[in-house]
Structure 1
Amino acid sequence: MNETFTVYLAPHGFLQELIDEINTNIICSKGHLILVKGSPKKFAWAQNTWLSPRFIPISSITDGAKKLLSIQRNWWLHSENHHRRATLIQQQLPYVSAKKLHFGEIPPQTPLGSWTLWEKDIILASPDCSSVFPDGVITFHENKIEPPSRAYLKLWEVFTRFSFVPSYKELCIDLGASPGGWTWVLAKLGSSVISIDKAPLASHISSLPNVEHYTGSGFRFTPLHIGNVDWIFSDMACYPNKLYNFIQPWIINKNCHTIICTLKLQGKPSNSTLSCFKKIQSSYLIHLSYNKHELTWIYSTKYPLVML
């Protein structure tokens, strides 16, 4: 293939969402890999982006391994077909670990290429990818004792991928906080947390000394009610349009430097809705490894949004 193209990897179960988001210039797809004409672009539903893909003809398993190693050392196999043959090639490459991270641990720093056996004797490989994590997926050693829900993993992932966390005693507002998964993360970091929800927090979260809980709808709390804060977090179950309207005063009036929200998507997501969030300057829309049928939107005027 002589023309420039990019390969996008869709998260498991969300191939159609990525196809709909890309919309044009799709060459073909195989499994969860989508080949698209042109240079790389940011797509929220792309789990990983292969930035410099090329087809490599091979004559044998050993030849395939040698040709990959002639490009670079570290490769991750994304297997869609010819699984046994692909595995035998990968076994001749240096071992790459996909170990779980402890939150706060420094993530991998070495670039990681991705490849697949496109046909029996043709490798599709990219030495450069958008993520340093294998297939763009990050997994953690989970805390199954303290947090009252698994939602905390989404915040762990955001903080790890973008290399920032709230500073000690910064003021954080957690909207739709119950039962307190995100509040737990923020409190453990030493932030001052105001949690807001119609439902109560788990008792061991509400009793934390740096947590204040208010009963009510998160949408009632605007800059007029609260004034300036450092961070706003929202994992509320609501329509994306309603969330978009809610965040506008905070951005326009510059009352907050960083906002992290979950966009809960009911049914087929509207590209026009997603486009509204994408167009906001200093923001990033992503499907996290720990997102389900939802996306995470990050906005910051304090931190550069460079994702690992």
Structure 2
Amino acid sequence: MREPSFSHRRAPVSRHFVARLLAGLQAAMAHADDAQLTADRPGWLQRLDPRVKLIGLGALIFTAVAVHSLAALAGLLLSAVIMARLSAISLSRLLRQVWLGVLLFTGMLALPALFMVPGAPLLTLPFPPLTVTCQGLRSAALLVGRAETSATLTLLLVLTTSWPRLLKALRSLRVPRMAVMILGMTHRYIFVLLGSAMALFDARSSRMVGPLPPGERRRLAVNAAGSLLERSLYLSQEVHLAMLSRGFRGEIRLMDDLRLQKRDWRALPVFMALALAGFACQWLRLP
């Protein structure tokens, strides 16, 4: 069950304010459609029951957060890469969507640990006079490794599972109905709001000739934000009433029920073995 599709014609490459906004909105919609196409591909993770993926990948994420061994994190990240390749997800996509962004953000947070964590000196910078310690380098590597591994496993879950099946799996695992309903409404409303924003800026762009001065661009942004806020209040009621009129009562229903297959029973021990191997690296005091 896919979200409503929209026309994803690319906006012309321009410095125009409205054109850049349209290009950003269209990129967001195209990214969502591409994620749905990835979930429909024949791959190892795609063929597994979403409940098995939630339990298995959740166990691996918990292991990545809990262990203090770089060897365990490296093994879990390598396992995630292998699962991605078996699921028709390219390394370039992981690099673009996860690794670079997480490395940039987490690296900025981990950078002070190189100099602030006391320990044996490893490297001394001449200017400014700072000393990198072995313990500080290890602490920074642990922080970045945990973030990269957890984000990669989370992306695998999202890219290989359609949203309705993921919500159904959450409900099957006894996640409260209210929490699942909030997630479902939020996901659906994001697409409705994106479509409304695209229509608003597309209409504005079709009535403009030439670039806008800076003051007019700021005025346009403020007016657009106010208009979208007003529409969002109206659309939230319309979306909820439309879902109620179609029989939605908080429970996620699919055309085909979730059923565990032989491949699911074989995959679950694999996930658990990987999680236990990560803790074994910690118990063996591997670096």
- TM-score normalised by L of structure 2: 0.24
**Structure index of larger Rg:** 2
Write 1 or 2 for the structure with the bigger share of helix.
2
Q: Which has the higher contact order (CA 8 A, sep 6+)?
A: 2
